[in-house]
Structure 1
């Protein structure tokens, strides 16, 4: 007896129809919007070959037909993502341009719980241990970017650009659209980012990957305080004046945990004394914080026994 062929389209009346599929027919996009930003929309989609949900990122290129710089930035994000492979960076699976609809499409892995800002707002009662675990994973992602050859600076790290798989407590850095690939001197020159999270030297238009560490410190501050830094300011100009004159955000005064406050202050210190991601990973702030990835590495080192070697 012949078995029916697997269909690339749902056939059951209860199944959800695809709005469109990629040129190979492997990926199908649903109508559900997961998020939208200034340049792209992200939809829920399905990888029929692997049987997993994915994110379908779509950019309408006609919106940027007269903006060559923006178009190049979009292509840069895709090229950049394609070259990266790390547990704490959103993975890219496929990219193509649809000439008919004049869109740039790329399929990335999906994080089930959305971005870290919304996730933290939803779950207000979180232990310091859990906050440290999230913070450590973000830092490991940054360390990966900063130690690439050439070095990659994210330049727009904030809690809305970090994504969460809440069922396993895993966080990943995404939205690398403003990232800069820099040479051996590790310096870049353009002003980009989210004002509340931008290091003072970003405004001076000469900076290194340490701007990401400053932004990271502001992310940790937001996670701990449940407040976006400089929310006391009602304009970008006021934020700029405070940042450039060294005035710390008021949210920092609300951090009761002495160790957490000291760690944040290290991250947002002047660039001359600001530590690298690798140095921060060795900070006492993370003593006793072991994530699943490290447990797996330890098990492999010990022959899969799960026992530590004394």
Structure 2
């Protein structure tokens, strides 16, 4: 197994501050992001020669909360079973007993999360926004049609990640996801208030809560404004959502087609289309992402001879 040189004269190499038990993955000191639960560092896979993300959770922070520890393990177990171009891939997981940390290696998205990426690139065409939105939807469709069904429950633009050089987006942070049975019903109240569907508060909901959150993501992408930013407390957001008051940002959307599409997503639960149905919506007419272009090229004979 290749490992980093320990030669002190090798000043050109960037030192690892930590390695996994096999020595394959090395962690750098560079922090890519942090949240309430975990920190994410830049790391390197010496076997494949690629950069990866090293996710680290200090379990002692949750020693009094076994439910939180179980939720973290659930994220890892869940990620391991998922294989989709629009879902962050997991490569390895282990628990480091000495420092009581849970570590897992995932693929890295070079341009960070979609919220920051959109703030950085304020002048983006509607076509580009649709391409990003379509990819998120393809990831949701995969989760919702997975057996068993998976509800993300915390979809927002900070949990979607970007490879800006190829315009690819991927859903991540599945720590609050729920695996549900054939009735597709879950009960816990979890999520980010600005993006939480009203029925989430009633503790009786289906994967349609993700469609609502997705609609709020599209609203943020189009308006460059986090939904309900006019509210200065969670209580006020809850009151507005519960009373069916739409976020003020929706009134600022000038594109009639985009506004109509968002309104479909945040409609009452029984009126919301599924992810599969939304993928067929006229909103995406003419929007082909790279995966589909590859398939079309092959079928059209640019990649192979078709009889």
**Global fold match (TM > 0.5):** yes
Instruction: Identify the residue that residue 92 of structure 1 maps to in structure 2.
Output: 90
What is the CA deviation profile of residues 215-266 of structure 1, one whole-angstrom value per residue up to 9, with x for unaligned ones? 0000000000000000000110110010011000000000000000000000
CA-CA distance at 1:305 after TM superposition: 3.7
Instruction: Identify the residue that residue 120 of structure 1 maps to in structure 2.
Output: 118
Q: 1:107 to 1:9 in 2, by over 3 A?
A: farther
CA-CA distance at 1:299 after TM superposition: 2.7
Which of 48, 69, 72 is the aligned partner of 1:71? 69
Instruction: Identify the residue that residue 8 of structure 1 maps to in structure 2.
Output: 4
| TM-score scaled by length of structure 1 | 0.96
Q: Is the 8 A contact 2:2 2:24 kept in 1?
A: no
Q: 1:192 to 1:307 in 2, by over 3 A?
A: farther
Whole-angstrom CA distance in 2 between matches of 1:108 and 1:14 = 26
The DSSP-based 3-state class of the residue aligned with 2:270 is: coil
Unpaired segments of 5 or more residues in structure 2?
none
5 Å-filtered alignment, 1:1-310, equals: 7-9=3-5, 11=7, 12-305=10-303
Whole-angstrom CA distance in 1 between matches of 2:77 and 2:296 = 33
CA-CA distance at 1:7 after TM superposition: 4.2
Whole-angstrom CA distance in 2 between matches of 1:308 and 1:294 = 17
Unpaired segments of 5 or more residues in structure 1?
none
Whole-angstrom CA distance in 1 between matches of 2:21 and 2:243 = 53
The DSSP-based 3-state class of the residue aligned with 1:57 is: strand
Aligned residue pairs total 305
The DSSP-based 3-state class of the residue aligned with 2:230 is: coil
Q: 1:7 to 1:175 in 2, by over 3 A?
A: closer
Whole-angstrom CA distance in 1 between matches of 2:305 and 2:111 = 32
The DSSP-based 3-state class of the residue aligned with 2:87 is: coil
CA-CA distance at 1:65 after TM superposition: 1.0
Q: Is the 8 A contact 1:10 1:16 kept in 2?
A: no
Q: Is the 8 A contact 1:116 1:163 kept in 2?
A: yes
Whole-angstrom CA distance in 2 between matches of 1:137 and 1:100 = 40
* Worse overlay, 11-20 or 260-269: 11-20
Q: Is the 8 A contact 1:10 1:17 kept in 2?
A: no
